[in-house]
Structure 1
Amino acid sequence: MTIGDVLKQQPKTADVFMKHGMHCLGCPSATGETIAQAAMVHGTDLDKLIDELNKVVE
């Protein structure tokens, strides 16, 4: 799933992405980049990021 898809479905997740250094949420790379790709590029633990995203949408 791309960051753009997540943000469209769950806009409140933006704070989680920004907390992990993903500040350009509307730029073309973010809208086409998967969560896993973004985690790798930003040096973020993917499992931790997904856990935090899931907590926000519960």
Structure 2
Amino acid sequence: MGNAVSKDSNILEVARKYPVVGMIFRKYGLGCIGCMVASGESLGEGISSHGLNADMIIDEINKAIAEEETK
């Protein structure tokens, strides 16, 4: 199975579909989900704008989504 989200995925759409994303964002101090810009921003843009490694965090998000889906 492929990844559920990518750098190009919209932040709000991902957060609505996969609530586990909120926990990961909080872990890294990202307030993107509550930010007005999030409706038009991608995961890659939002994470990178905070100086964080988007690839690493998106990989963590995809692993968490996969774990949730197997429950």
TM-score range, shorter chain: 0.7 to 0.9
When normalised by structure 2's length, the TM-score is 0.70
Look up the SS of the partner of 1:43 in the other structure. coil
**How many residues matched?**
58
1:36 corresponds in structure 2 to 44
TM-score, with length taken from structure 1: 0.83
Rg comparison, structure with higher value: 2
| Larger displacement relative to structure 2 (4-13 or 25-34) | 25-34
The letter for the 2-side match of 1:51 is D
Q: What's 1:3 paired with?
A: 11
Q: CA 1:13/1:31 → structure 2, altered by over 3 Å: closer, same or farther?
A: same
Change (3 A) 1:24 1:47: closer
CA RMSD of aligned residues (A): 1.3
**Which 4+ residue blocks in structure 1 deviate beyond 2 angstroms?**
none
Gaps of 5+ in 1: none
- Name whichever structure is richer in helix by fraction: 1
